[in-house]
Structure 1
């Protein structure tokens, strides 16, 4: 059966979270993002299957998505009770502020994973409160971090803000635009500028009848085409 080609093992929650120095999020969350990639693959593969099979794949995808949402929520509860530590390569951080920035970026990444799971795993509309709440959380948490150029966890914010911006309601677009503009002014990253340009086109686009990806920002379409902001 086609579903047998997908792994059945979901991430395991550790007692204390350990933040990866490169991705600025807990290592278990990296497994969640890998699963989000698998869910994306399922959605694309379902278009190529016989009519009887896509529903099985959709049901399986939604079951996995619901379990992953629960897992991320458990992770967030754990991290709220016991703040995560940093991985070995980050030991000896110069200030407590920098450690707190890593923890804020970890929480931002958790909300980003929830946005992806809600929208592209469970197929919820971006107007659902859970989606909108995570978008607003990304904005609020990103606003609390002092952005820096070079080796700093804030470098990961372009990705988070791009994803949140793709699902933002109209009233949140200005906040995301401002944060990305500040990020660009500090880092001078052309990738961040491209993220801004793509969001501007998304926010202002008038979809054509054949443009499924722009029409209502459909949860059935991939979140990002071939562009990964960083």
Structure 2
């Protein structure tokens, strides 16, 4: 057995050779103890002051720059600053240091735009925006695939700011950044042990957002990145490479993104459900114990239990559609399928009614430490956003599972309530739950009639004008097509997507 630096934690601590068998090495199996693997970074065996890097710092040509509390990098002083230090040893550097000085000018500009502007389009409040930037930006500086994906997302937003939302997919600069990110991503995936594993998941997440925000309609674009993120996260959990202390930090943020996109895909998509739609327990961020309270996730804009209902609606609708396609000749079997779908619809509707009852009698609950960072107005707007998503789920139950006509009073009541909730939240240029309303507005738009369609047009146009996400304009364009070319009242949006051979998510 050869010596290894990548053995399990127990063998390392005991300075024993490890055969590195997974999930349990030979020594731990014989001892009958838990075997854990963790990625340990070594920065040299010498004391810092005696290391080569420490010697460079001691020359006075380097300085420590703290870009956020507890997080820092070392930068080289400019020639001018070094000259000033030599002539005035006691003087201190007064000019701010640019942590992005090693980047090309275009990369630096795009990263600055992401920090100041583009990061707002996925944040409902300033605390969330700061968290996103604090987690993503330092990691992007060390991971080329994530850097290019982040700058591509920023470039998409800039294109929309210049009233060029419709030409995003054909913009050569954006295509080049996406291609560079994918090229580096493939290389980094070949040697994941030498990379920050969370950075790979973050790259998949950012590529997915870039594809969706640009208005992608091809299933091998944004869906592929969701599946890739899922595979990476599952692998990390199985190998134990994610350090325990990160499971409540950046990893939890990635889990929250994953479950939000999976839930919304199940609610609005026309393809098969992504991954295991029935369980949150695959990933560390959503354990059973943590999910017992029905937290209103300030990243999603809806509650944990409602997200589970979204996934159940998607799974039930997909199962119903597939069964009906396979049994056109068996009328008795279709009756059985329809009866089972009605039972599922009734149970899901009862669950939503119970969530609405609780919401009407109590204040929303947030993840520990989040409520203190939210203003009273933010709490009120998040509650309205959650209510809009609840009515979105009711519409999908009626239309996809029960095949209720769009003219039904129940469907139209939910349409009008979504529009009322959206209007009460009102337009805001980021840092508001307003940025989360594309999905409920689109679902309401699919069933809207007469003057309500004008309201949907107006609200979606306002949403695009404030957050500048091309996919919002794409959503409005698809609604116009659906209203014009819907085959009949029985054809819901998902059937229309199948007929038009497109894959789209209003996100």
Matched, 1:227 2:504: yes
For residues 105 and 15 of structure 1, the distance between their equivalents in structure 2, rounded to whole angstroms, comes to: 21
Aligned twin of 1:211: none
Superposed, which structure 2 residues align to 1:134-173 within 5 Å?
134-173=414-453
Choose 1 or 2 for highest CA Rg: 2
Q: Which residue of 1 aligns with 2:311?
A: 34
- Cα offset, 1:150, TM superposition: 4.2
Cα distance per residue 1:8-34 (max 9 Å; x no partner)? xxxxxx996410122211111011100
The answer for the alignment partner of 1:215 in structure 2 is: 488
Q: TM-score, normalised by structure 2?
A: 0.39
- Which deviations, in whole Å up to 9, do the C-alpha atoms of 1:73-116 show, x marking residues without a partner? 11101110012122236332241101111111010000000000
Conserved in 2, the CA contact under 8 Å of 1:19 and 1:27? yes
Mapped to 1, the partners of 2:492 and 2:504 lie a distance apart of: 17
**Gap change, CA 1:189 and 1:108, over 3 Å in 2:** same
- 2:322 and 2:408 map into 1 onto residues whose CA distance is 27
Which residue among 364, 387, 391 is the counterpart of 1:107?
Answer: 387
Alpha-carbon distance, 1:222 to partner: 4.0
Runs of 5+ unmatched residues, structure 2: 1-276, 279-290
Does 1:176 pair with 2:449? Answer: no
Matched, 1:201 2:481: yes
Q: For 1:46-76, what per-residue CA distance to the aligned partner results, in whole angstroms no more than 9, with x for missing partners?
A: 1124624333222111110011111111110
Q: Which moved more, 1:166-175 or 1:53-62?
A: 53-62
More divergent stretch after superposition (135-144 vs 87-96): 87-96
TM norm structure 1: 0.83
Q: What is aligned with 2:344?
A: 64
Cα distance in 2 between the residues matched to 1:88 and 1:218: 43
Residues 418, 440 of structure 2: 8 Å contact kept: yes
Aligned to 2:326: 48
Distance 1:194 1:144 in 2: 24
How many residues align? The count is 212
What secondary structure does 2:472 align onto?
helix
CA positional deviation for 1:199 = 0.9
Q: Is the 8 A contact 2:425 2:433 kept in 1?
A: no
Is the CA contact 2:482–2:496 (under 8 Å) kept in the aligned structure 1? no
In 2, are the aligned partners of 1:93 and 1:99 still within 8 Å (CA)? no
**Superposition map of 1:63-102 within 5 A:** 63-88=343-368, 90-102=370-382
Deviations 1:127-181 (A, max 9, x none): 1111000000000010000333445322221111111100111221001110000
Counterpart Cα distance in 1 of 2:369 and 2:435: 17
Give the conservation status (yes or no) of the 8 Å contact 1:147–1:186. yes
Contact 2:313 2:396 in 1 (8 A): yes
Provide the rounded CA distance (Å) in 2 between the counterparts of 1:138 and 1:93: 26
RMSD of Structure 2 on Structure 1 (CA): 2.4
Moved more, 148-157 or 158-167: 148-157
Deviation at 1:203, TM superposition (A): 2.0
Q: Which secondary structure state, in structure 2, belongs to the residue aligned with residue 216 of structure 1?
A: coil
Contact 2:400–2:492 (Cα < 8 Å) also in 1: yes
CA distance in 2, matches of 1:67, 1:176: 30
